[in-house]
């Protein structure tokens, strides 16, 4: 696929048929952490990816096509976003949460009441052409219509997309080091960014 720098993307709600795209975007955006969750959710005969696909298609829970939108170019899905309102109470007990997920839960609590972008990712071939920006603008309009005053997102501190978020008006609010990781995953930080709308 060839795209020039300024393309018009069609934004639409995701459907169950977009589950494979949503799984790909989620694995990419979560740095593979979603596979740990899906491993625990497997049913007999399923792989972790199968469990992710099933959950995306079911239409219930936090990871569902019903909470997702996609950006298309010439009928082909290029980017996806999973977002929804949150209102953490600041009382979450993280003692039973696997260590690798604790910093994410802590930062989500710090986000407070906001429209939370849980997943945002773009296929490599489409990066740099504005799909993610269009999805964020779409979500911002939805958040305003729902009466939200802020949008929040948690991102890896070395993710080049941080510059995009800053350009779109997000500001760093807090950061937490990654949970314990193996030798092939050096410690880094998750960063909570918030935009007032």
pLDDT digits (tens, 9 = 90+) for 31-48: 888 999 899 889 999 999
Averaged pLDDT of the chain: 89
C-alpha–C-alpha distance, residues 138 and 157, integer Å:
24
CA dihedral of residues 103, 107, 108, 113 (deg, nearest 10): 170
Phi and psi of 85, rounded to 5°? -75, 145
Q: What percent of the chain has pLDDT over 90?
A: 67
Is the pLDDT assigned to residue 74 strictly greater than 70?
Answer: yes
Domain ranges of the chain: 10-196
* pTM for the full predicted model: 0.88
60-78: burial string, b at 16+ Cβ within 10 Å, e else: eeebbbebbbbbebeeebb
DSSP H/E element including 35: helix 33-40
Dump pLDDT digits (tens) for 94-107: 677 778 888 998 99
Model confidence at 18, in pLDDT bands (50, 70, 90)?
very high
The pLDDT tens digits of the residues spanning 127-150 come to 989 999 999 999 999 999 999 999
Fold of the CATH domain 10-196: Aminopeptidase (3.40.630)
Count of alpha carbons within 13 angstroms of residue 66, beta-carbon side: 7
Q: What is the pLDDT of residues 148-194, one digit of tens each?
A: 999 999 999 988 899 999 999 999 999 999 875 555 555 689 999 99
The answer, yes or no, to whether residue 91 has pLDDT greater than 80, is: no
Return the sign of the alpha-carbon dihedral for residues 163, 164, 165, 168. positive
CA 64 vs CA 15, 56, 155: distances in Å:
9, 4, 20
């Amino acid at each position: 696929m060839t795209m020039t720098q300024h393309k018009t993307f069609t934004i639409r709600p995701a459907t169950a048929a977009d589950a494979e795209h949503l799984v790909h975007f989620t694995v990419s955006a979560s740095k593979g952490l979603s596979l740990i969750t899906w491993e625990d959710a497997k049913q007999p005969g399923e792989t972790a990816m199968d469990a992710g696909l099933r959950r995306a298609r079911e239409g219930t829970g936090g990871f569902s096509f019903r909470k997702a939108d996609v950006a298309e170019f010439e009928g082909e899905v290029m980017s996806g976003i999973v977002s929804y309102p949150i209102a953490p109470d600041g009382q979450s007990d993280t003692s039973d949460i696997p260590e690798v997920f604790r910093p994410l839960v802590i930062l989500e609590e710090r986000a407070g009441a906001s429209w939370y972008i849980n997943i945002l990712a773009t296929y490599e071939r489409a990066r740099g052409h504005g799909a993610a920006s269009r999805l964020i603008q779409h979500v911002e309009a939805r958040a305003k219509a729902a009466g939200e005053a802020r949008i929040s997102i948690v991102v890896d501190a070395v993710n080049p997309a941080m510059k995009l978020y800053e350009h779109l008006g997000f500001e760093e609010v807090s950061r937490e080091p990654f949970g314990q990781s193996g030798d092939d995953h050096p410690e880094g930080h998750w960063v909570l960014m918030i935009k007032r709308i």
